[in-house]
Amino acid sequence: MIAVRRADSAKERRDFLAVGRELHEGDPIWTPPLYDDLARTLSPDNPLFQDGRAERELYVAYRGERAVGRVLGHVHHAHNQRHGERAGFFGLLECPDELEVARALVDAVAARHRARGLERLRGPYELTISQCIGAVVSGFDEPASTSQSWNAPHLPRLLAELGFAPVYGAKVFRLDDVAGCDEDALLGDKHRAWLADPRVRVRAWDMTRFDDDLHAAMDLLNQSFAENYGFVPLSEPEVEFFARPMKRLVRPELTVFLELDGEPVSVGMVLPDFNVLVRAMAGELWPFGWAKFLLGSRAVRAGVLQFIATSPALQNKGLMRIVLAELVRRLKAHGFTSLDVTWIGDANAKSQAHMRALGMREKHALTLYERPL
Ligand SMILES: CC(C)(COP(=O)(O)OP(=O)(O)OC[C@H]1O[C@@H](n2cnc3c(N)ncnc32)[C@H](O)[C@@H]1OP(=O)(O)O)[C@@H](O)C(=O)NCCC(=O)NCCS
């Protein structure tokens, strides 16, 4: 007998965070979340849950007193407003390979969303379109890198059995051998012409002007992603909330801006793959602490391309290819051996073509699911 409860008490919230650990016990492919970080993201301190932008509920499934599953149910009002729909999301779904548990969790979210007049249930969505979306449906022998989704192989089957249908596809890619990628060969005549233009400057993140470069990168992201699937611009407080802890972890030499007449018009950002460390720490900063995490992150030789963006007015002129070639050169110079990228929609043929041009291979396919409420 499965009972689903809203995670209102401190114990239930602890169960929500910890239940994944029990379910994935002994699985070397699984990467635990950084528990403190996940708790912060889900807390009311997250500006996403302020000013009516979004709301959320956490649910835990119990068999007797034992937590056996969990799910997040959330509504992103800013999404519904922008995209003219009445969608409710689910995410962070963890359950054993038992339809009964999956059904009880999904039904709890569905009932909540239905009571609020929503019409479609979509997920996994963790937490916004700028983070992880979709369930992994292939590539289960390789772990997720930082900012990539992960779930047990049985999840897509359970969702299909619960009446969900695919609504959007995406992929994550990986370059196993950065040293084997010839950055010069990525550039043709049009790129070299840009590089010879005195108005063009290619540079790294300037940590002495951290805020200026953060806002330049976020402005480019908000402008260039405007037409992408499900996009909702990041608000200023959200950028602050997520970027502040990153200040210590970002590798400024691995974010490349291309400036035209002193204005950043193209950007690509690589972070170290923190998941390599998180797996070694089993998700707990204690007893390592941030200082050791920071030190450990300097030794990581795997990178993850977080996003690429070119100002809409200057797209298809070769600028991103220049940024990517410079990133490859820098990754080599700093001893990075592999490069992953976060999800890219199958509808985004241009971006996927860029990844393939780098020599990347498909690592995981992802599917976003939906069913009527
Ligand atoms: C993706 C993006 C960064 C590319 O930047 P860009 O500066 O326009 O890219 P470039 O001009 O260097 O290269 C465009 C290449 O894509 C090719 N291309 C254009 N449309 C394409 C399509 N539909 N399918 C395949 N390739 C396509 C062009 O032919 C060109 O290749 P070439 O240099 O070999 O001729 C830019 O379009 C953007 O900001 N998009 C929105 C943000 C986004 O989707 N980011 C990716 C997810 S993180």
Round the average pLDDT of the chain to a whole number and report it: 95
Q: Is residue 188 part of a domain?
A: yes
- How far is 131 from 129, CA to CA, in rounded Å? 5
Residue % of the chain over a pLDDT of 90 = 89
- 279-283, 303-307, 365-369: which range is least confident on average? 279-283
pLDDT reported for residue 105: 98
Q: What is the dihedral of CA 275, 279, 281, 285, to 10 degrees?
A: 40
Assess whether 324 and 234 both reside in one domain.
yes
Assess whether 162 and 183 both reside in one domain.
no
Q: Tens of pLDDT along 299-342? A: 999 999 999 999 999 999 999 999 999 999 999 999 999 999 99
> Which pLDDT band, with edges at 50, 70 and 90, does 159 fall under?
very high
Judge if the beta carbon of residue 231 lies within 6 A of ligand 1.
no
Instruction: Identify the CA nearest to 364 among candidates 145, 153, 166, 140.
Output: 140
- How far is 212 from 202, CA to CA, in rounded Å? 16
Looking at the predicted structure, is the pLDDT value of residue 283 above 90?
no
Instruction: Identify the CA nearest to 249 among candidates 303, 169, 174, 187.
Output: 303
Judge if the beta carbon of residue 247 lies within 6 A of ligand 1.
no
- How far is 96 from 84, CA to CA, in rounded Å? 35
Last residue of a domain, one of 171, 195, 226: 171
- Residue 253, Cβ density class (10 Å: 0-12 exposed, 13-18 middle, ≥19 buried): middle
Count of other CB atoms within 10 angstroms of residue 153: 14
Last residue of a domain, one of 120, 143, 171: 171
Assess whether 115 and 204 both reside in one domain.
no
Distance 281 CA to ligand 1 centre (A): 38
pLDDT reported for residue 243: 84
Phi/psi of residue 335, nearest 5 degrees: 80, 15
Assess whether 34 and 180 both reside in one domain.
no
Judge if the beta carbon of residue 309 lies within 6 A of ligand 1.
yes
- How far is 359 from 81, CA to CA, in rounded Å? 39
Phi/psi of residue 269, nearest 5 degrees: -120, 125
Count of other CB atoms within 10 angstroms of residue 235: 17
Distance 311 CA to ligand 1 centre (A): 11
Assess whether 90 and 196 both reside in one domain.
no
pLDDT reported for residue 287: 63
Instruction: Identify the CA nearest to 301 among candidates 345, 265, 332.
Output: 332
- Residue 155, Cβ density class (10 Å: 0-12 exposed, 13-18 middle, ≥19 buried): buried
Three-class DSSP category at 166: strand
Assess whether 230 and 341 both reside in one domain.
yes
Find the CATH number of the domain harbouring 260.
3.40.630.30
Judge if the beta carbon of residue 348 lies within 6 A of ligand 1.
yes
Assess whether 344 and 250 both reside in one domain.
yes
pLDDT reported for residue 288: 67
- Higher pLDDT, residue 295 or 213: 213
Distance 321 CA to ligand 1 centre (A): 8
Q: Is residue 148 part of a domain?
A: yes
Assess whether 135 and 198 both reside in one domain.
no
Judge if the beta carbon of residue 3 lies within 6 A of ligand 1.
no
The parent domain of residue 183 ranges over: 175-365
Instruction: Identify the CA nearest to 326 among candidates 180, 203, 210.
Output: 203
pLDDT reported for residue 34: 86
Judge if the beta carbon of residue 191 lies within 6 A of ligand 1.
no
Contact 306, 147 (CB under 8 A): yes
Q: Is residue 373 part of a domain?
A: no
Looking at the predicted structure, is the pLDDT value of residue 214 above 90?
yes
> Which pLDDT band, with edges at 50, 70 and 90, does 297 fall under?
confident
Q: Tens of pLDDT along 50-75? A: 989 999 999 999 999 999 999 999 99
Distance 359 CA to ligand 1 centre (A): 16
Residue % of the chain over a pLDDT of 70 = 98
Does the reported pTM lie above 0.85? yes
Q: Is residue 372 part of a domain?
A: no
Q: Is residue 75 part of a domain?
A: yes
pLDDT reported for residue 223: 97
Assess whether 126 and 226 both reside in one domain.
no
Assess whether 52 and 139 both reside in one domain.
yes
> Which pLDDT band, with edges at 50, 70 and 90, does 294 fall under?
confident
Looking at the predicted structure, is the pLDDT value of residue 284 above 80?
no
Cα atoms in the Cβ-side hemisphere of radius 13 Å centred on 201 = 9
Closest ligand 1 atom to residue 312 Cα is 39
Distance 193 CA to ligand 1 centre (A): 18
As for how many domains the chain has, the answer is 2
Judge if the beta carbon of residue 355 lies within 6 A of ligand 1.
no
CA-closest residue to ligand 1 atom 37? 315
pLDDT reported for residue 293: 78
Residue of 147, 221, 271, 350 best suited for mutating to test ligand 1, as the one with most atoms within 8 Å of CB: 350
Q: Is residue 370 part of a domain?
A: no
Distance 60 CA to ligand 1 centre (A): 42
Judge if the beta carbon of residue 318 lies within 6 A of ligand 1.
yes
Assess whether 167 and 181 both reside in one domain.
no
Assess whether 19 and 160 both reside in one domain.
yes
Distance 348 CA to ligand 1 centre (A): 9
pLDDT reported for residue 248: 80
Looking at the predicted structure, is the pLDDT value of residue 286 above 70?
no
Judge if the beta carbon of residue 312 lies within 6 A of ligand 1.
no
Closest ligand 1 atom to residue 266 Cα is 7
Q: Tens of pLDDT along 2-59? A: 999 999 999 999 999 999 999 998 898 999 988 888 999 999 999 999 989 999 999 9
Judge if the beta carbon of residue 189 lies within 6 A of ligand 1.
no
